[in-house]
Amino acid sequence: MDFELTEEQQMVRDMARRFAEEQIKPKAAELDETHEHPADIIKQLAELKMLGIAVPEEYGGGGMDYVSYVLALIEISKGCASTGVIMSVNNSLYCFPVQAYGTEEQKKKYLTPCAAGEKLGCYGLTEAGAGSDPARMRTVAVRDGDEWVVNGEKKFITNGNVASYAVIAAVTEKGKGYKGISSFVVDLENTPGFKVGRVEEKMGITASGTAELVFEDARFPADSLLGEPGQGFRQMLTTLDGGRIGIASQAIGIGRAVLEEAVEYANTREQFGKTIAQFQAIQWKLADMATELDAAELLTLRAAWLEDHKKPYEKAAAMAKMYASDAAMRASVEGVQILGGYGYCKEYPMERHMRDAKICQIYEGTNEIMRIVIARSLLRGK
């Protein structure tokens, strides 16, 4: 068992850390306040090959591994959780399925622009009545000659308001449940009948757009089908496994920001003639935070290593996402407590971290669903 990072992995981590400290962190509070999409930061991330880290260079990506992706995403999310999830969705939920299931023509057309960061991608799965249960999906695609006619609405789509490309799940065979779901990869900018609907006002990750995707007799080219008809649900499960590694990384980044700021505050805040860092009650909070975040990072790196080595990683990804998001939420609650009244005020970033951390327990599979995934795997003897 080797815990040593390769030279390339260290380089990626250090590069992401410097960029986050110098370019992202100073702007994070303003982005949170204005709810503005961080276009300039995303452009710079593209130049650093952060938007397609594990995509081969021939398709515009960085040609690196998923361990590097985790290390980089932790640092970016530490600087700004909104930026982190934009990066995560483009890498995990868009680039991955196009790379894994797309034809050579689809990769050249749909993967390269997003892996290179020229455009952003999103993933259209969730609907108002179909979140944890995709079988309730109501978006329907019907073949019409050389096109698919699509009707339906997707809900809570990260990057949905700024994405040029999307992987969309739709029912192509009614009455077959999961087996009737197919995936499509589409150019949203050139899809007749498509429009962006409501953009949500959210508690946290406010600089990351969360939007409805509305399809009204929208027409997808026949060659936009990803894989074969009826394979969408299986593709979806694998895609979400990788996405959970991304969200675990985002959660760890938020937790690291909390811990760093809590330590700094505890070392400077004085009460009863000494810094609060000297009180055992504060020390125990910090110790618990650090231990849980280290454990979360190890779980997440294990999941990424398994993905890199083409080994099953469904359970590992669910464990990482569940534990990391819970750890980040616990850390943020304690971080606010350590800062006291200041932790509750926008003068300090701690309250933002608490708002940002919560969503990590919900999206890309709620933590209740993660526990079901883990238990089912155990009961199957895996």
pLDDT value of position 175: 86
Residue 154 has a pLDDT of 97
Pairing mode of beta strands 121-124, 165-171: parallel
| Predicted local confidence at residue 84, as pLDDT | 98
Per-residue DSSP letters for 311-325? ---HHHHHHHHHHHH
pLDDT at 6: 95
Provide φ and ψ at 27, rounded to 5°: -105, -5
Report the run of H or E that residue 121 belongs to, with start and end.
strand 121-124
364 is catalytic: yes
Quote the pLDDT of residue 129.
87
Cα(106)–Cα(165) distance, integer angstroms? 12
Q: What is the pLDDT of residue 269?
A: 96
The catalytic position among 104, 173, 364, 368 is 364
Mean pLDDT by 10 residues, the chain (382 residues): 92 98 97 97 97 97 97 98 98 97 97 97 93 87 96 97 97 91 97 96 97 97 95 94 97 98 97 97 98 98 97 97 98 98 96 98 96 96 82
pLDDT at residue number 299 = 98
Say how far apart CA 6 and CA 67 lie, in whole Å: 10
Residue 305, pLDDT score: 97
Cβ neighbors of 12 (< 8 A, separation 6 or more) are: 53, 64, 68, 71, 72
Q: What is the pTM of this model?
A: 0.96
d(CA 179, CA 18): 46
Give all domains of the chain, ordered by start, each with its CATH number: 7-120 (1.10.540.10), 122-232 (2.40.110.10), 234-379 (1.20.140.10)
